[in-house]
A = this chain, B = another copy of it.
């Protein structure tokens, strides 16, 4: 864990970096799909190197998560919801009063496994996060205990919904269920998992 960031530093980071990260997501997609001329690719590579030198002029020590002055962990690097992580789609997680959690997302070429389909492991990645989110309590992080996935139909690239709900909650263990649904309304993956909130811990889950 790194030093605490001041409110001004947090605000600057949260203003400047998310739009840069959006551009970076586009670049990740284009690096896969581009058929540009050799000269353009070489020039793009040089620009990427120059951008890395600029961002690398001052860098937080590894690994990633930093905390604000109040000690709260900042989730901007999170692989699923981080607004500074170009790997993150990013997931916008919604909840209702009943404990149901869901997110609508669009997965492009960068999440592909078989031709035209989302990689099975990416389905697992998304569902782990959404099921886990049912167990999250402020200040009480939850960790995955077990996760079981049943792939019942291919998951096409494009618009998807991930959703989860609590089956039961038992002494710090949340038994969650959920599923991934494609744009046509077909359930493609069913999931169930047990998520555990350790008693003595702090910070945020994921």
Chain A residues in contact with chain B, CB under 8 A?
Answer: 1, 9, 12-13, 16-17, 19-21, 23-24, 26-28, 30-38, 40-45, 47-52, 54-60, 62-65, 73, 76-80, 82, 84-87, 108-116, 119-122, 124-129, 132, 141, 143-151, 154, 157-158, 203-206
Contacts and interface: CB of A to CB of B under 8 A. Distances in A.
A114 B203 contact: yes
B49 A34 contact: no
A54 B86 CA distance: 19
A147 B149 CA distance: 5
B33 A64 contact: yes
A70 B112 CA distance: 21
Contacts of A109: 62-65, 77
Given A119-B206, A147-B124, A36 B57 contact: yes
A146 B150 contact: yes
26 contacts: A9-B35, A13-B35, A16-B38, A17-B31, A20-B41, A20-B45, A30-B52, A31-B55, A31-B85, A34-B59, A34-B60, A36-B55, A36-B59, A41-B55, A48-B48, A65-B114, A73-B115, A77-B112, A78-B119, A114-B203, A114-B206, A119-B129, A121-B126, A121-B127, A145-B150, A147-B151
